[in-house]
Amino acid sequence: MIVMKFGGTSVESAAAIERVAGIVRARADRKPLVVVSAMGKTTNRLLAAADKAAAGNLEGALRDAEELRAFHQREAGAVCGPERMAVLEPALARHFGELEETLETVAKEGQVTPALWDETASYGERLSSLVVTSAFGALGLEAAHLDAREVLITDSRHTQALPLYSRTYARFQEKAAPLLERGVAVMGGFIGSTPQGVTTTLGRGGSDFSASIAGAGIGAEEIQIWTDVDGMLSCDPRVAEGGHLVKVISFAEAAELAYFGAKVLHPSTVLPAVEKNIPVRILNSRRPDVEGTRIVAEAVPSRINPVKSIACKRGITIVNIRSLRMLMAHGFLRRIFEVFDRYRTPVDMVSTSEVSVSLTVDRTDQMSEIEAELSRIAEVSVLRGQAIICLVGDAIRETPGVSARVFASLRDVNVRMISQGASLLNLSFVVDEDDLVRAVKSLHAEFFSQLDPEVFA
């Protein structure tokens, strides 16, 4: 058995769904469990409708829902045909009726509470999974629909729920495994429910996480993440062109890249796969013949390239914190991080000296409150408009001279902060956003002028 996850662009239209059906058909003998995201930008449109309802514009919200209904009916009708649509229509009508009720509740509440956010956002995957299941049947694939809320059991932390793994795995064995013995099963990603049946979500980008959980639950031989890129590249194509396809990379390296900005993979995706030692493959639904990137437990050492890829994160803020005493007193670091914890603001990088701490954050919605609290115990300065550049590779820790090559490449760039991860898999630093493209291009030219054919395509 395998898991095949398809992102929103892979199921955005009737033509895209037909392409997905062809990909799945070619692998039908491997008993695929297909996990789908919402069609195109549906989730954004759903949440925009909820915001309208919360602001008192229920009429506008319901109009948006009607436009989404027309979109799903049009694309489903183009691929399913009249006979299948006759069966699908009542299910779509029921879901859109429930969506309207949810928007009416939002309007009454006057706000999108976390529980209502989850309920509203869940309709994208609930609808797409129904449409794809019906389309598969029309295209000659024996397919059964699996409601993700019946198998992916989570805690009640709305908008960022965590799976209850033992219960979830038991449900997958009970409900998914029998369906896969008879054909293809299709479920929505991103969504789950509490043990009491209340709808939850795993957070934005959580469909990858759903696929990994499903793979662990059914004991899959491989988890495939089908997206709109060929796989992981040696640099972010949105920042610098000319990146090379990474054929194989370790779970640890992939997790570092995901955390530091690689959009191909959700940061939590690898966790269930690591636990069960299931390979993950990143593939392109528009170019299914490309071998993609395979993510495995053990790193594949490179004889030529100590760096596997360069990731980056824009929109970074540096917070410089200087102790009011000459030396940092006992408990100073604890007090700093307690402030960030209280405001639920994750810290990306940390660098310390005898009297000061510098750290980076990418969420600044509560920065004024954080700054005010920190100012009671330290001198604080905030520098916005920064970017993190992260070089990732298992060989960084074993290869002499990597840092020298990095900073020789950046001789004309002002580096504002440096950190080497405790895992020794990454070397990270912060530069002005205005210098990001120039810095990445220079680093890529330095570390990828020659390629190891065992690692790069």
| CATH number for position 53 | 3.40.1160.10
Residue where a domain terminates, one of 228, 248, 275: 228
Looking at residue 380, which CATH number applies to its domain? 3.30.2130.10
- Which residue segment(s) compose the domain that 117 sits in? 2-228
> E strand or H helix at 32, and its extent?
strand 32-36
Give SS3 for 395: helix
Contact yes or no for 36/132 (Cβ under 8 A): yes
Q: Is residue 276, in this structure, part of any structural domain at all? A: no
**Cβ atoms within 10 A of the Cβ of 431, count?**
22
pTM of this structure: 0.84
Output the CA–CA distances (angstroms, integers) from residue 369 to 67, 353, 405, in the order listed.
40, 25, 40
96 falls within a domain: yes
Q: Are residues 316 and 214 in the same domain?
A: no
CB-based contact 96:124 (threshold 8 Å): no
Q: Which of 228, 251, 268 is the last residue of a domain?
A: 228
- Residue 212's nearest CA partner among 126, 220, 204 is 220
In-domain check, residue 266: no
Within-domain flag for 36? yes
Same domain, 73 and 212: yes
Sheet of strand 426-432, all strands in order from the earlier edge strand to the far edge: 350-352, 356-361, 309-323, 378-392, 426-432, 415-420
- CA distance linking residue 172 with residue 186, whole number of Å: 13
| Separation between Cα atoms, residue 278 and residue 275, nearest integer Å | 8
Q: How many domains does the chain have?
A: 2
Picking from 228, 246, 277, the residue at the C-terminal end of a domain is 228
Q: What is the pLDDT along the chain (457 residues), one digit of tens a residue?
A: 999 999 999 999 999 999 999 999 999 999 999 999 999 999 999 999 999 999 999 999 999 999 999 999 999 999 999 999 999 999 999 999 999 999 999 999 999 999 999 999 999 999 999 999 999 999 999 999 999 999 999 999 999 999 999 999 999 999 999 999 999 999 999 999 999 999 999 986 688 899 999 999 999 999 999 988 889 999 988 888 889 999 999 888 888 887 776 667 766 677 898 889 999 999 998 899 999 999 988 878 888 999 999 999 999 999 999 987 655 567 788 889 999 999 989 998 998 877 889 999 998 999 999 999 999 889 999 999 999 999 999 888 778 888 899 999 999 999 999 987 656 788 999 999 999 999 999 999 999 999 999 999 8
**Which amino acid type is present at position 86?**
A
